[in-house]
Amino acid sequence: MVAKWQLLLGRVLLSAIFILSGLGKLPHFHDIAGMMSAKGIPLATVALVITLLIEIGGGLLVLTGYKARYAALVIALWLIPVTLVFHHFWGIPAEQQQEQMVNFLKNVAIMGGLLVLSYASPEKTEAKA
């Protein structure tokens, strides 16, 4: 019984950052697409639409537990290039390195949580019962 509540709370906590981040991008769509283009992201508008689908859609799947196993895996894989492109602390001025290293490690930790969820998702847990 406790495990189900832990899994639910974990899904809520993991999904919040993605859902809120995606929703926060919507009103600034063109500005964010421009920033992504400046970072060298090809087809930035298309990449941003994919990002929104992953953040909002994947976040909602994780939150509700519906296909959470697959959504968590997709988000974790998506976070790899996102983290390398936007939080490369090793290639920026020293005064920015600490903040970007924290963001890099935060994303790595979130990836770890998502990988755990992709193994211990509601679908998998119910199949064992």
Q: Which amino acid is it at 3?
A: A
Q: Domain coordinates of the chain in residue numbers?
A: 2-120
Positive or negative, the CA dihedral 59, 111, 10, 74 is positive
At residue 33, the 3 state secondary structure works out as helix
Using one digit for the tens of pLDDT, what is the confidence trace for 80-126?
999 999 998 888 888 889 999 999 999 999 999 999 999 986 565 44
Average pLDDT over residues 3-20: 93
